[in-house]
Structure 1
């Protein structure tokens, strides 16, 4: 376990500079195009920014909050040899119509079809496309599955807070039961160098000079033949010793004690 952890730490340390090179800070690269629209040539964009116009009735900004959103880049898992970007995308401007064609791989799979604009997708501009029997239904698909979080604009905020407090009071208390602490068993870690390994290395070092002199000038086939000949001689010696031992045991059993 310690070896695996050490390898993992080394991988993380060596990959950290690579990951740092892939991350790019866009804040200092943005150019102001007016009307709160900032953009750079590397793909960064800010739209609708407001840095100095205060709302009505406000004399100053009371506090500043920073919100960090961690975004990924994973799309539908389409085969890269068919779709290098891993996704299928359509785009059009203004009141218009556009169509495209895609070929999906075989197998039971459910794909998400949606608008790229986040608010449009949240309000229902999405559907699911099933290949074969599909692998289940996606959540919050209009007309198919229920919303994960249903929006309710009928109640006011004080009413919702009062309802939440009432539900918390009605909920039964949770009784904590003490359970015996688990007994940790200390596992002996495997050592890279064992006693058998040390003995084998010692025998190899002792036999190395003899083998070097013995195999000097021999070809590979001659070395193999010599090794097999030694193995055959060793097996014959073991068989002879076993046969002598068996004869000795049987002869002792067949001896007849002398008469008095």
Structure 2
């Protein structure tokens, strides 16, 4: 089966685009064909993949084109990192999406536009990863409707940990209201941008500064435990690293920017889970 994975968060700065771009390259290393779709008007994915940002009038080069009545399946796919892989393509979002958002009310099924397009005009890929903006609506909702699988990125700070419960409530509410059958499967939550020198990060994850479990912290107060009680998986954390910022400035994943750094292994558990679902 094809996995269509949406990466969502209801707070900014949670590392969604970092996660999306690095998962794409890591999956390509597994010989899987990956397409990244950006539903973010900010256009951050272009930076992370070394592509130029789009002008507001470049609708046909943006995912915005699917909101046009005359769309017939001509997705503006752009290959990236071609010197290293031929298996990753990007459909940029960016500023043209502002017009698409303003015109959503003109569609009979506004939140199912991407879902309907992918069903009517399938993209030939093993995995489609949908990168969303910080606000879950409307673009996060459009991504959810199109997805087969769902990941939430969270930063282990109090406002983010509280909002994770809101994220789950939003997920279940919207799955029901959109009558998604089958409903997207929650692969898990990903604590990202983690700095174990910060006490709040350690406490909310139940860890010591060296990354080992801190038995002095009551598990009840930790994010992984709270998710476990809801039968929601929590992936190992992805630490904050200056390499992510530096790599994004060159348009490369850290796998190519610093291939020997252990940070590149951070995405392996998620990749493993995605591959497992491809075989279902």
TM-score of the superposition, structure 1-length normalised?
0.21
Of structures 1 and 2, the one with the larger relative CO (CA 8 A, separation 6+) is: 2
- More strand by proportion, 1 or 2? 2
TM-score of the superposition, structure 2-length normalised?
0.20
- More helix by proportion, 1 or 2? 2
